Chains A and B, each alone.
Chain A
Amino acid sequence: MIYAKDINERTPWQELTPGGEIYEPGTARLFNTGTWRTNTPVFHEAACKHCMLCVPFCPDNAIPVQDGKRLDFDFMHCKGCGICENVCPFQAITMVSGGAPNE
């Protein structure tokens, strides 16, 4: 079976999965939507209280959580909508202009 990561515009139709079915879960994660950003969130770890209020508000599942802590953004999927900055009660997220994560 051909995997999603190996399918592209040049893949001949004979090699595609029958019926255009997808046999792997969550293959969208392979797709970079980070390039869409015109604004980029900056995570200020020191100010974060890990209240997690931002996490369910992210439409792109771009705020990873591990062991009770929220980590820095998943910039491959963050589209820079800025909802997280608005719901953060501790000013731990600020939006800056431009698409590049400024690390």
Chain B
Amino acid sequence: MSTVYNLKREVEKPARFTGGHRLCAGCGAGIVVSGVLRALDNEDRAVVVNATSCLEVSTFMYPYTAYMDSYIHSAFENSAATCSGVEAAYHALKRRGKVEGTVKFITFGGDGGTYDIGFQSLSGAMERGHDMVYVCYDNEAYMNTGIQRSSSTPHFARTTTTPVGSVGQGKKQNKKDLTEILVAHNIPYAAQAAPIGNFKDLHTKSYKAIYTEGPCFLNVLSPCPRGWDYPTEKLAEIARLAVDTCVWPLYEVEEGVWRLTYIPKKKLPVEDFLRPQGRFRHMFEKGNEWMLEEAQAYVDQKWERLLERTGA
């Protein structure tokens, strides 16, 4: 991508992620994966590594693969380790002149496979400095097994393991801030992205992550109509509200330098993001106003801190 971002040019590239996969209608993961892989230059090949996830079970069912590139899946907890092994083997062969061309290494994991189960192998791969990108498509729960809470699930969200009733009112804890944890690994590039607008955000961050040497991390918001309980056609609107309410701020950290990549013209109240989603419905019941206040206070505090860090 030597020139500026041009959507028309990018969508005309041959697709690396095909139709015919079994992800649900309106799934955010399909959009995120297409968006990331579209950033690859046409002449380069990729090795796609996948943690166990919705994405894995839906896009790679024998004899069908939705990838135009090589693909490997081994388990839930070791996708980053698997990727780092393939990357190390590739570079060993490359040094001996046994492979031609450029191969990039991209790992996809859901939030369960990244925030929770695959966290140790991710941390290890980042520390060892492999030339790879780890992309977390964050749909904020274990959607594949039936919407169980993960450490990425936000406070008050209803899941099947944090139900709403007389005893509980959704998840009790706040969402883990994984992007910040990855930044603390002092990797060359880490960013938080979302599928919005003309995809410039996701595309440019993916390109940087793929073509920056060393371990890079992308955390991409991936709305899930089943788990978040909203009509499938509303995906773009939900993703837009997540960034405009600063629930999911867009930023990148390059060589330790924090930079906000999007500042909402008008920071919307967090209710605007919560209201269209069934998983937060109970927060709008009478007597639960304190939940909205708490959610707003948490977002404000995180946003203020991010503004300080980025010097915006």
List chain B residues, Cβ under 8 A from A57.
Answer: 31, 195, 235-236
| Count class of interface residues, chain B | 35 or more
The proximity string for A residues 60-80 relative to B, scoring 1 for CB distances below 8 Å and 0 otherwise, is: 111001101000001011111
The proximity string for A residues 35-60 relative to B, scoring 1 for CB distances below 8 Å and 0 otherwise, is: 01100000000000011110111111
B27 at the interface (CB under 8 A from A): yes
A27 at the interface (CB under 8 A from B): yes
Is the Cβ of A22 less than 8 Å from the Cβ of B62? yes
Is the Cβ of A83 less than 8 Å from the Cβ of B69? no
**A22 nearest CB neighbor, chain B only:** B65
Q: How far is the CA of A74 from the CA of B19 in the complex (A)?
A: 9
List chain A residues, Cβ under 8 A from B288.
Answer: none
Is the Cβ of A26 less than 8 Å from the Cβ of B23? no
The proximity string for B residues 157-198 relative to A, scoring 1 for CB distances below 8 Å and 0 otherwise, is: 000000000000000000000000000000000000001011
**B18 nearest CB neighbor, chain A only:** A26
The proximity string for B residues 11-27 relative to A, scoring 1 for CB distances below 8 Å and 0 otherwise, is: 11001011111111111
Known A55-B11, A65-B12, A68-B12: A28·B62 in contact at CB below 8 Å:
no
A7 at the interface (CB under 8 A from B): yes
**B33 nearest CB neighbor, chain A only:** A59
**A81 nearest CB neighbor, chain B only:** B26
B233 at the interface (CB under 8 A from A): yes
B34 at the interface (CB under 8 A from A): yes
Known A60-B21, A60-B30: A83·B67 in contact at CB below 8 Å:
no
B38 at the interface (CB under 8 A from A): yes
Is the Cβ of B63 less than 8 Å from the Cβ of A7? yes
* Most chain B beta-carbon contacts within 10 A, residue among A78, A79, A83, A87: A83
Q: Which listed residue (B8, B28, B64, B195) contacts A52, Cβ 8 A? A: B8
Q: How far is the CA of A68 from the CA of B13 in the complex (A)?
A: 11
B244 shortest CB reach to chain A, Å: 16
**B240 nearest CB neighbor, chain A only:** A87
Is the Cβ of B26 less than 8 Å from the Cβ of A79? yes
Q: Which listed residue (A16, A66, A78, A95) contacts B233, Cβ 8 A? A: A95
List chain B residues, Cβ under 8 A from A55.
Answer: 7, 11
B38 shortest CB reach to chain A, Å: 7
